Amino acid sequence: MQNYGPLRQLKREDCDWPIGLQPKKATDLASANGARAVSWSRPIGQALFAMATIMCLYLGAAVWAGWADFRGAIQQMSLSTLPMAISLVFLGLGLRACRWHYFTQKLNWPVPVHLNVVAFLAGFAFTATPGKVGEVVKSVLLRTRYGISLTEGLGVLMVERLGDVLAILLLTAGGLALLADGFFFLVIATLLVAAMMVVVGVRSIYGAILGRIGTIPGLRGIVSRILLLFDVAHELLQPLPFLVGITIAIVAWACEGLALHIIIREFGIEASVLTSLCVFGFATLAGALSGLPGGLGSTEVVMVLLLTQLGMPVAVAAVPVVVFRVCTLWLGSLIGVSFMMVWLAFCEEKRADVTRESL
């Protein structure tokens, strides 16, 4: 490990606790990791409330578009369309679960594949949070059972998000004609993501910056956690894990884009696959940048506006958008709640004997 000046003696366990609450001894750390209980009743209740709210909003959109027209459009859909779209969404989720497990194995986490997948999918119970930050729950679940550092989990989540953004930008590139300034937007966004990856990928850059910030009184504990987070991200941005991760991300998000393509073609839009991917990509990025829970509202508005540029009336365009979002956001939340129940019922055995080694 490189010398980061005043941070060089920090240990991994120091990076995972609020300032002033770090355990004094390794045995205290093991006990705290294993014994600290997390009450999930309130968060799960909030997730169920969010799902009900989302469904009410989509029903409101259907009424606005004209309930009779909406119902008629749904009835005209081919019987195979929804199962195909949902299957593609499930495939995308499964691929992203594989990426999560691959990343955790690169970090030598002692978690078997089936529990990794259950924890990953349980995180989708809280996907309707700003920037999907609720997905950090998967790291919390693994911490209670295996003593995994929450900061390490955040590092994996950061790499996942960077890969997701880059993958969606690449998928968006095929239909830039939909927006007048689309090429400029794509270039700027790609450069920003690339710059972030360079900073995180070069230890000498972020190490020097954080080393200096760590000399400021009162910031040492915070900087130590950021340093560990960046070290994890740095390890996962090496050529092989990066290529594996970005390949999986592209295929996984393309599955959701193809689900949108199948749905909008049912409503008479003869769009190419590249155009559908562009609509999906721009709407997804807009939802992420809005900071709204699950991108709710912003994703739908951008998607409707782009579909109108393909010749679909606004009221009609709302129908496939609602169908698509039910298949992704709402169904994803339902899957998350289901797997959260599975985890709490069968997987939440705490282990106080597993702790992470010091840096």
- Contacts of 73 by beta carbon, 8 Å cutoff, 6+ apart: 267, 316, 319
Q: Is residue 189 part of a domain?
A: yes
Angstrom CA distances, 289 to 130, 146, 222, 254, stand at 9, 33, 25, 20
pLDDT at 179: 59
Contact 210, 226 (CB under 8 A): yes
Q: Is residue 266 part of a domain?
A: yes
Q: Is residue 352 part of a domain?
A: no
What is the span of the domain harbouring residue 276? Answer: 5-10+40-347
Q: Is residue 32 part of a domain?
A: no
Radius of gyration of the chain (CA): 22
pLDDT at 255: 96
pLDDT at 212: 83
Distance CA 227, CA 214 (A): 10
Instruction: Tell me which residue has tokens 């199948």.
Output: 262
Q: Is residue 72 part of a domain?
A: yes
- pTM comes to 0.79
Contact 124, 330 (CB under 8 A): no
pLDDT at 183: 66
Domain count, the chain: 1
Distance CA 333, CA 323 (A): 15
pLDDT at 326: 87
Residues of the chain with pLDDT under 70: 1-39, 46-47, 61-62, 64-70, 72-74, 129-134, 174-183, 185-186, 348-359
Q: Is residue 31 part of a domain?
A: no
Q: Is residue 353 part of a domain?
A: no
pLDDT at 54: 72
Q: Is residue 17 part of a domain?
A: no
